[in-house]
Structure 1
Amino acid sequence: MKPITAILTFAVILLSLNRSAAQTASNQPGATLNHIAVYVSDLNRSAAFYETLLNLQKIEEPFKDGRHVWFSLGAAGQMHLISGAKSGVKYDKNEHLCFSVASITDFIAKLDQQKLSYINWEGTAKAPTIRVDGVKQIYFQDPDGHWLEVNDQKKFQ
């Protein structure tokens, strides 16, 4: 075989292997969310906050080390609270966890009853943002200052 023919043959084989690998990779299912970990300064206070306010269900915590509380997020996975964070950290609202509820009006009443403040995206107190798709959303912070969004989106588009 002439050197140029060997090089061309080798190049064709590499291209076909590369194309085959790319096709295999694109046929693979996407990753799914397993859990979210939230670092908190007071585990009991934060666990009570999420359990009471968002009605999250505690699930078995396998480490049994007193540093974790696990919650089910249904089909979305789990949320793990982990103790040990320093207090006073400032978080940006752009980095937030979002939960959907059946009624934003009922949820706002619960916040008002517990005297928890909330804002819309622009920062106006006690006013939801109404997105262009009609979904209403509010923002507030957990005991450590992590931002949370709650909205009334019924399903993903």
Structure 2
Amino acid sequence: MPTFLFNHIALSVKDVDKTTEFYQKVLKLKEIKNTASDSKTRWLSFDDGKQLHLIPRPNFEIRINKAVHFALATPDFNSFVGHLEELKIDYSDWLGTPNKDYIRKDGIKQVYFQDPNGYWIEINNDV
């Protein structure tokens, strides 16, 4: 049986430039070269080399569901929540309580917020 390593997340987005700017500003992701094609898809990189691919689909319906999200962990959880507040980005706990974090049964803190397309992002301190 082969083993697998996580490689990238791909999201369909309405406005690829606006979404790229959001992820660069909020998560400090760096843009890298799209080596797969000459398309307008933009690639961003996390510090560990994993990637986020933003695929322009301006005329597609994007269906959003909070259960469909990706999660990032940081040891600087409180600092990141402060960063969201400075940027005036709304966040909530899993139940949707505004400006509130949630502490899971296992003691992990988490918050959720949305990108410009409505995709949900979880930030937690599970490091």
Pair member with larger Rg: 1
RMSD: 1.8
Paired letter, 1:99: L
Distance 2:75 2:59 in 1: 34
How far does the alpha carbon of each residue in 1:125-156 deviate from its partner, in whole angstroms, 9 at most, with x for none? 111110122111001110000111011111xx
Q: Give the secondary structure class of the aligned counterpart of 2:81.
A: helix
Residue 98 of structure 2 corresponds to residue 128 of structure 1: no
1:83 to 47, 56, 67: 56
Runs (5+) with no aligned partner, structure 2: none
The structure whose RCO (Cα within 8 Å, separation 6+) is larger is: 2
Structure 1 length-normalised TM: 0.73
Residue 84 of structure 2 corresponds to residue 111 of structure 1: yes
Larger helix share, 1 or 2: 1
Distance 1:57 1:151 in 2: 21
Structure 2 length-normalised TM: 0.89
* Count of residue correspondences: 126
- Write out aligned runs for 1:32-43 (5 A): 32-43=5-16
Percentage of pairs with the same residue? 33
Contact preservation (8 Å) 1:120, 1:128: yes
Runs (5+) with no aligned partner, structure 1: 1-27
